[in-house]
A and B are shown apart, each in its own frame.
Chain A
Amino acid sequence: MGSILGHILNGLSFGSVLFLLASGLTLTFGLMRTVNLAHGAFFALGGYIALDVLRRTDRYWFSLLVAILAATLVGVLFERLALHRVLGKELPQILITVGFAFLIADLLLAYYGGRPQSPPRPPGLDGVLRLENFAFPHFRLALIVVAVVVWLGLHLLITRTKIGAMVRASVDDEPIARSVGVKVPAIFATVFGAGTALAAFAGVWGGAFTGLQPGSEWQILLLALVVVVVGGLGSVGGALIAALAVGLLDEFGKWLFPSFALFTLYAPVAVLLAIRPQGFFGKEELT
């Protein structure tokens, strides 16, 4: 019984990492209609920068902050300098993000080498929860809590604040939003930056869970893409449910039928996209 509970909690905590990535991905898609394939690169960038600063200063929370700020800065610059020039053109946006991801990944490889490494767990969360014969790390529980908190925060931000209203307006009808005075380009940059910050955070905390090595950012990005698609492109709540589901599916797939785990993850997504392209919680496209 304990092992099943362990697998469930493992799946949920991995799902939480996926949600942290997917929430940023789904926001930028909802807003800019682009699948940002560079999102995984920001995950890796955050993780590696945090490791680097931590080795130099030995201050955990400071390095976490530096990593998030640095990745966000790179993200916003990238959005302003490259991505924004092809606004509204889906295909060029996608290929530019692919190119940017290659660029970042290769520079990280050149600078930090190809050896797998992983950022440490945050101090204070090193403990293990023990219930009779069952043990589970505090850190993984904290990941689940953080995912729920981030979801709640984003949900309140989007539905209850003026900024959220401006974001929703820009998503639903960009020309009208512009005409009533919403600075849509600024909203784009802000949302992109927020998504990048979440990805960098996921890189530091999730990296402590999944490890960092060249290519791993693509694995996790593709899983996050699955989450975004299943949850419905643009839906943050859908992303949370889908992320936890995909996390569980991934965990149980690897445990129960390891030689089909990847197939059983991607094939249903293809079928779902064929039948219901907008995902489970996405809005119908008005085209």
Chain B
Amino acid sequence: MSAVNADARNRLLLRVALLAVGIALVAAPYVVSSFQIGVLSRIAVFALFGLAFNIVFGAGGMPSLGHAAFFGLGGYIIGIGTVRLDAGIITVFVLALVLGAVLGAIVGVLTLRSHGVYVLLLTLAVAQALWGLAFQQVRWTRGDNGIAGIERSLIVPGDATLVTFYWAVLAVVAIFGALVWWFQRSPAGVAIVAHRESASRLAALGYRVSAYRIGAFTVSGAVAAIAGVLYASLNRFVGPENLAWTMSAEVMLFAIVGGAAFFAGPIVGAAAIVTLEVWVSGFTDRWLAVLGLTYILTMLFMPQGILGLVDDRRRAWRARRDGREAAATSANASDALTGSGGMS
């Protein structure tokens, strides 16, 4: 059998599998309990947040520890917008996209001269500044108490039950997830990856590197704000914890656990971590300790993530099938980001 044929068959298999997962997700409410529908909704929201984050992190190679800023911003837009100002859902979505993009562009501009750990500290400082506002501008945000009473019915056309809300979340996540997919395959998205690999070579080719860095943060910020809107309406609540840096650390964990080098990495990571949380919380209160161990063990033993492991297995299997020539090229391909410590 020729390699081309096998590739075409693999692609077909992948599409069939994707379709099956999609149908399963849509049909899930007919099969699983309402508690599990809530869990699935959370996974979907976190998956979108992770996809947005990974534009900057996995594709762009910039370790942001401030993405909670965008996520929380979206939450406060729907919170303040609908509970206090009586805005409609379209206004909320447009505002989230615009303000998320503006904040993303500002962060992008700020990080232009930074690399590696300095990007991390800078994004952290920006997010903490916003967290401080959310915490202390009590007149707008109600401070530590947060804003409760966000209506789920805003997002759902017609009757807002848990199931219709889940479908609405799924639809929004699918639309924006597809947009991120399309963006990452566009020339701009490819240039962002090229920036991770070598900013100086990209510049030598005549690209304006800074524009792509800012662009990555802008798109990422806008989509992350949408995820934040969904998260706040899922919880019917937004508070300073939506903006806390632990949220930024968690989204980074989603990307790494799933495999930051892969598009689907954050989706797999979000599903894995949320499932683990639900399972662990079933028999102990010590979820945070388990989460801490998850951070440590992932970084020590699985820095390339779940999809990285799967990819390694697949390559190894294929190499054994195809003989030695393929084996030479398969090594070291998937540890681009976390494995070799490469932070730009």
A interface list, Cβ under 8 A from B: 33-35, 82, 85-86, 88-92, 94-96, 98-107, 109-110, 218, 222, 225-226, 229, 258-263, 265-267, 269-271, 273-275, 277, 287
Contact = CB atoms under 8 A, between A and B. Distances in A.
B118 interface: yes
B113 A274 contact: yes
A95 B299 contact: yes
Nearest to B123: A270
Interface of B: 63, 65, 109-118, 120-122, 124-126, 128-133, 135-139, 245, 249, 252-253, 256, 285-289, 291-296, 298-300, 303, 338, 340-341, 343
Contacts of A92: 299-300, 303, 338, 341
Contacts of B291: 99, 102
Given A99-B299, A100-B296, A270-B110, 9 more contacts: A90-B341, A99-B296, A101-B292, A102-B292, A222-B124, A222-B128, A263-B136, A266-B129, A287-B115
B194 to A, nearest CB: 19
B286 A85 contact: no
A230 to B, nearest CB: 10
B132 A222 contact: no
A106 B343 CA distance: 30
A273 B125 contact: yes
The binding surface of chain A is classed by DSSP as: helix
Contacts of A259: 136-139
Nearest to B110: A274
B269 to A, nearest CB: 13
A103 B294 CA distance: 10
Given A269-B125, A270-B110, A99 B118 contact: no
B284 to A, nearest CB: 10
B292 A106 contact: yes
Contact of A273 (B109, B122, B130, B343): B122
B295 A35 contact: no
The binding surface of chain B is classed by DSSP as: helix
A261 B303 contact: no
Most buried by A among B135, B296, B341: B296
A94 B120 contact: yes
A107 B289 CA distance: 7
Contacts of A88: 341
Most buried by A among B121, B125, B132, B253: B125
Nearest to A267: B129
B341 A89 contact: yes
Contacts of B139: 259
Given A90-B341, A277-B114, A103 B296 contact: yes
A169 to B, nearest CB: 22
A34 B121 CA distance: 11
Nearest to B139: A259
A107 B290 CA distance: 10
A86 B133 contact: no
A262 B132 contact: yes
B136 A258 contact: yes
A222 to B, nearest CB: 6
B132 A266 contact: yes
A100 to B, nearest CB: 6
B286 A99 contact: no
Nearest to A105: B288
Contacts of B132: 260-263, 265-266
Contact of A226 (B125, B136, B256, B289): B125
22 contacts: A86-B300, A90-B341, A90-B343, A98-B249, A100-B295, A103-B296, A106-B287, A107-B286, A107-B289, A225-B121, A225-B124, A260-B132, A260-B133, A260-B136, A262-B129, A263-B136, A270-B125, A273-B122, A274-B109, A274-B114, A277-B113, A277-B118
